[in-house]
Structure 1
């Protein structure tokens, strides 16, 4: 019944998702099995929506991935199959996958690198009496069942150590597991809820009292149904971190471990191509066992020291080297650890505590002391609970780093490392905003996307260039240099015509700057924003931070264009400025947005600027006063619709014009005492709203007149003018009669004079 209910739930969810997500990006609902074994090939079954072929896959861990073909006619977009092969030396622990196709990029889905056999959840396990036996060791992806508990029954020998670890919050599940290890008669041997350092997750370790059958009971304290979890049962330590908790990159490292049951267990961690700042997975496994506990470590560039007990006093301090790291475990409440190091006058050291991000519950308080115990610097307490302090060394000599647990707690899980780096630095994070995205589709030949970035400065105030760790062909980067003292920037990527559909890229961004005389690269992170995406996880894993992924897809139809009024920039001859209005014209019924612009190809000696108001850009063009020939500049505009950002380019002509031209025609001679009609015509230049034109005649002979006020209305281009000769007007021909027109063009007074005409006064014929 339970399995039937789950299938119905999944089917309904898939139907709902497909209905609501036409042309939506792919999404992953489940991955089966969720555990992937190192040194082996595992076939994964994905369910979700929009999983159409061809599908591409990204993993946060080294792996060979093959997308298995879908049977002809069977591609319903709700399932996909992958074949993943992990290297033999893959560390156990958590990782992530995502997929992409022509509709976009899926969310990141968490999986487990697992060295125990991965089993399917028994079909009937909601009662102790009916629960099927599970052979240990075992890892079982499962799901909660509302108010009913799940039972996992197994056989064990007296004296056998059995550990249970339930991963739910660590896999971003909303489940809040409570677990008990019980005998088949119901006797409780162990209980766990909200294990320290793991958020809502639970784990325990029990020594079996007698041969027989036992069971693990798992219940969601929220009584929710179908919440996924992953249970591990077997003989393994409940590891927290490696010791040291940070590992210097460059070669494989021999380590010990912190956590329950780790005493005496050692291992070797393969660092491969790991770079400083990344998190490392490591397995803590006893020689007699085949199952490892999951431990984490921080990759570091510097040498690492581990506390050597006793080191609870200054005169017992463990030697450390900074820049580098110092690791320890607060074994009991009130424990303090001391490390001695040498430093040089003027050197600036930046100390940073790491514990929560490694799964440790420790909140590490630390300070720098003189050898006599006098305080020189202390990490300020903050809401973040992983503290930091920068300190400049006052003089050459030896100093003490004192560490303690802020709340005076302790235990085998309370591991930490204090990392110290020299000099000044900065940090880059994806802006923590509800509008922020990190998954994009890029239209073939015309797409792009934007990434808002927040800059943190620690002693370095200079410019920072945002760039990819590995160059991407055909991409133009806009606004990617953070100015001196800058705190925020939105980087814009534009993809060229060479961009073809079908790529899936995990974009690793770094900030490059010259700091303290050296070129450094600092990776983009996203701790605060990632927390909003993976709420149950106590501290976002480094492999989830700074992720920016895009898929190149067939371009959708152009959905906007810039609209110019007038269609060109008309500069009145002799003037140096002119304006043009630009707005957004929608070419798609659902597009309601506005464009953002940039100006390109601006001719030398000409400048272009604009001011936007309610979606209308007033563009002002400044030109030399003697400009005569036509020029042009380019407006490159971009806008976003339905997840697609597109670029559109338009050339804008710059034309020098005469704002007004006037002509006059008088076809017949005038008899004294009579009049004739003269026709005055005007041509207004485009680029300005038409205004009335006042006319003035000049050079008329004596006793020849026109009306005192002559005006051509704004909506007309000519005017008939009555030219009257008095009865005593002198019979003669007069040349050079002109008409001057005056009006406004682009808000300025302008005038024009017609060519001269002849006015003839001719005696009447008898």
Structure 2
């Protein structure tokens, strides 16, 4: 069953609509982790609560359909995947939906060859596991483990070996592979490869007929039960890069497949009209299809292919902008040049695309006048090896772009695209993580609500935006606010009717200018952190252009905000009241917090509605730079109902306002035991009704005073300070006032300061002559 947004298949079960039996399911791994296209595969889904009423699998890519899913036990479910014969080989993101939630994203891997399992013992070179030259071996590398497999090949046949290890996303597993002959001489070996990053491949022509042993291990001979692998062994083609690396949407492109041991091949591919985030082409011939496709760019630019020789200024390949200039640094020291015309003041973005299409090229890009004068240059771009220049033409005329390798290396696979485009209005959109490194999914309870934060970063423009979700499950709607031009975060509230069917949906998030004056390129991307290294460095992640939304069983509680009737001022404080409605049978603790804090506001994160209670207050404080405006706020709630469940309040308005008044504090001094009046000047900004209470705070030990009252007409407030004989001596610089104005029967609390009070010790009394001591001037 295919939905219009994403590719989702479900097996309907009986849903319990009145009780929550489970929550927050998790998917830890799959057994097996992949399957051959054109087959049906029985997959065990393993993870906390994933077996409690499993109902649906959400597939992020086309080509896989769910035939059935059923419970094994609370933490396991059995599913049958039908993989289409034309399914793209490689990585496919999935989530499992149960009656009460969505799992995290994991990956299922599609291969092109029959699947088998590793069989121990196979750790000795002399006793390898025999396999057919045309198999995918599913295995595991434990500590100091080495797995050996033997195949038979004829002289001149291609032997291709590729491993999926790190890319399975289970653990920090760095595989190494080798092809050895019967005398244990190495025919080929691979640790990392530009095409596969920390996974590797070998593809060679068999030098003679006979047996070949494939060695599989971890680079440093480490491993554990999570160090699983999928080892593809066959005769399939294994080019490493496709030239020219892409084309226009919907266009049929002729590709040169570079890097295969049998030589360069040509293939044609029709590019999709709507480009996915990671479009790949799997090379295929009479010996099979490659285990991993070659990445291609799908961009609306004409390709301009280099014409050699083009290393001199006068022989530079010509093209008209915008364009994608495509070339190969074919040998060490090679230099490619392209010539184009530009008018004075024109701005062009110049991007080298090499590593993105898995080329080994580490490019340096330079821009020159036609005379040869260098105008700009770039090596890396924001830590990435591909180069970027924003070029503004200083005058009408012709210009030349140079492309070289940073180490003056080159070869038949050192392909690249130099994409030159006008800057374009774009917005980068993400669903914010609830907690760091945890991808956000949206689960809306029947008859309830869920809330998420969206970040929308504008590129090349400003202005107000309307942000919206795409397709949602039946019975689900969303509500949001306009994103003002000076801010990049906004809350989104999703609601499900009580009758909404239990279902899941992949969707996207889009943004457009409120006045629709110009089109905006939307770049919604969601990162799932699968493997992190030391210091939480991203090692392997899955990226998707869709988020996941599901309807789940109703919750045994709901919450609402008591909307404030008075503002929260800058450098102020307020208690935000939250009320819970608990259904019969539930009296657990409900943790409540603000979905987000507007700029300059801080909210307490440890508040809960305790058992036996139905209310709580969340303390809010602001600093002097808090943004004064009306903010739409949401409170989210979590509880343990056999796992974490979440809901949200409706929107409420919180007004942040400038302080109603300012105060001018004098610097005064006194002595221990000497009281004084401390007068503070007042400048009124916002009139208020009635009397306001003013408290002087921060007095040192031994100094006391009483609260005072002011009105909107007051220009001064005077505090009588009682200074004890033992009051603390010193400069006391932390005096401030807490001013409480009552508005609509609610306190508007200001913190206004600061002032200084110096307390000195009294001077000692004059010394008198003691008896028997000669007076001054008296002879002894």
Q: Given the two structures, how large is their TM-score scaled by the length of structure 1?
A: 0.68
Cα pair 1:128 1:153 within 8 Å, conserved:
no
Query: 2:102 aligns to what?
Result: 105
Q: How far did residue 635 of structure 1 move?
A: 10
Q: How far did residue 224 of structure 1 move?
A: 0.9
Specify whether residues 59 and 307 from structure 1 end up closer, same or farther in structure 2 by C-alpha distance, changes over 3 A only: farther
1:20-51 deviations in whole A, cap 9, x for unaligned? Answer: x96332314124261341xx242241330213
Q: How far did residue 351 of structure 1 move?
A: 2.1
Q: How far did residue 270 of structure 1 move?
A: 3.5
1:372-429 deviations in whole A, cap 9, x for unaligned? Answer: 2223333464323333222233444433222222343333443322322223323415
- In the TM superposition, 1:517-666 aligns within 5 A as 518-526=518-526, 544-558=543-557, 560-562=559-561, 582-585=576-579, 589-595=588-594, 615-616=618-619, 637-642=634-639, 644-648=645-649
Distance 1:225 1:611 in 2: 46
Cα pair 2:45 2:78 within 8 Å, conserved:
yes
Cα pair 1:59 1:98 within 8 Å, conserved:
yes
Q: How far did residue 563 of structure 1 move?
A: 5.8
Query: 1:328 aligns to what?
Result: 327
Distance 1:253 1:500 in 2: 45
Q: Helix, strand or coil: the match of 1:170? A: helix
1:619-642 deviations in whole A, cap 9, x for unaligned? Answer: 9xxxxxxxxxxxxx9998531315
Counterpart check, 1:434 vs 2:436:
yes
Cα pair 2:22 2:100 within 8 Å, conserved:
no
Counterpart check, 1:205 vs 2:199:
no
Specify whether residues 594 and 509 from structure 1 end up closer, same or farther in structure 2 by C-alpha distance, changes over 3 A only: closer
Specify whether residues 68 and 151 from structure 1 end up closer, same or farther in structure 2 by C-alpha distance, changes over 3 A only: same
Q: How far did residue 216 of structure 1 move?
A: 0.4
Q: How far did residue 436 of structure 1 move?
A: 5.8
Query: 2:445 aligns to what?
Result: 443
Specify whether residues 253 and 424 from structure 1 end up closer, same or farther in structure 2 by C-alpha distance, changes over 3 A only: closer
Counterpart check, 1:258 vs 2:258:
yes
Query: 1:461 aligns to what?
Result: 462
Distance 1:262 1:322 in 2: 37
Q: Helix, strand or coil: the match of 1:484? A: coil
Q: Helix, strand or coil: the match of 1:279? A: coil
Specify whether residues 373 and 747 from structure 1 end up closer, same or farther in structure 2 by C-alpha distance, changes over 3 A only: closer
- In the TM superposition, 1:44-443 aligns within 5 A as 44-49=42-47, 50-70=50-70, 74=72, 76-86=74-84, 88=86, 90-172=87-169, 173-196=171-194, 198-222=196-220, 223-226=222-225, 227-261=227-261, 263-275=263-275, 278-286=277-285, 291=290, 294-379=293-378, 381=380, 382-430=382-430, 434=436, 437-443=439-445
Q: Which moved more, 1:234-243 or 1:159-168?
A: 234-243
The unaligned stretches of length 5 or more in structure 1 are: 1-20, 571-578, 599-609, 620-632, 653-687, 692-743, 750-766
Q: Helix, strand or coil: the match of 1:315? A: helix
1:164-223 deviations in whole A, cap 9, x for unaligned? Answer: 222222333421112221123322222222234543222223332222111101111241
Q: How far did residue 516 of structure 1 move?
A: 11
Q: Which moved more, 1:582-591 or 1:170-179?
A: 582-591
Query: 1:10 aligns to what?
Result: none
Cα pair 1:102 1:501 within 8 Å, conserved:
no
Q: How far did residue 78 of structure 1 move?
A: 0.6
Specify whether residues 308 and 331 from structure 1 end up closer, same or farther in structure 2 by C-alpha distance, changes over 3 A only: same
Distance 1:33 1:613 in 2: 43
Q: How far did residue 149 of structure 1 move?
A: 0.6
Query: 2:504 aligns to what?
Result: 504
Cα pair 2:282 2:289 within 8 Å, conserved:
no
Distance 1:80 1:68 in 2: 8
Q: How far did residue 69 of structure 1 move?
A: 4.7
Distance 1:597 1:216 in 2: 54
CA RMSD of aligned residues (A): 4.2
Q: Which moved more, 1:636-645 or 1:182-191?
A: 636-645
Distance 2:203 2:437 in 1: 44
Cα pair 1:199 1:537 within 8 Å, conserved:
no
Distance 1:332 1:291 in 2: 26
Specify whether residues 95 and 263 from structure 1 end up closer, same or farther in structure 2 by C-alpha distance, changes over 3 A only: farther
Specify whether residues 422 and 514 from structure 1 end up closer, same or farther in structure 2 by C-alpha distance, changes over 3 A only: farther
Cα pair 1:29 1:48 within 8 Å, conserved:
yes
Q: Helix, strand or coil: the match of 2:293? A: strand
Specify whether residues 154 and 209 from structure 1 end up closer, same or farther in structure 2 by C-alpha distance, changes over 3 A only: same
Q: Given the two structures, how large is their TM-score scaled by the length of structure 2?
A: 0.67
Cα pair 1:443 1:644 within 8 Å, conserved:
no
Q: Helix, strand or coil: the match of 1:27? A: coil
Cα pair 1:597 1:635 within 8 Å, conserved:
no
Specify whether residues 331 and 58 from structure 1 end up closer, same or farther in structure 2 by C-alpha distance, changes over 3 A only: farther
Q: How far did residue 304 of structure 1 move?
A: 1.9
Distance 1:524 1:531 in 2: 22
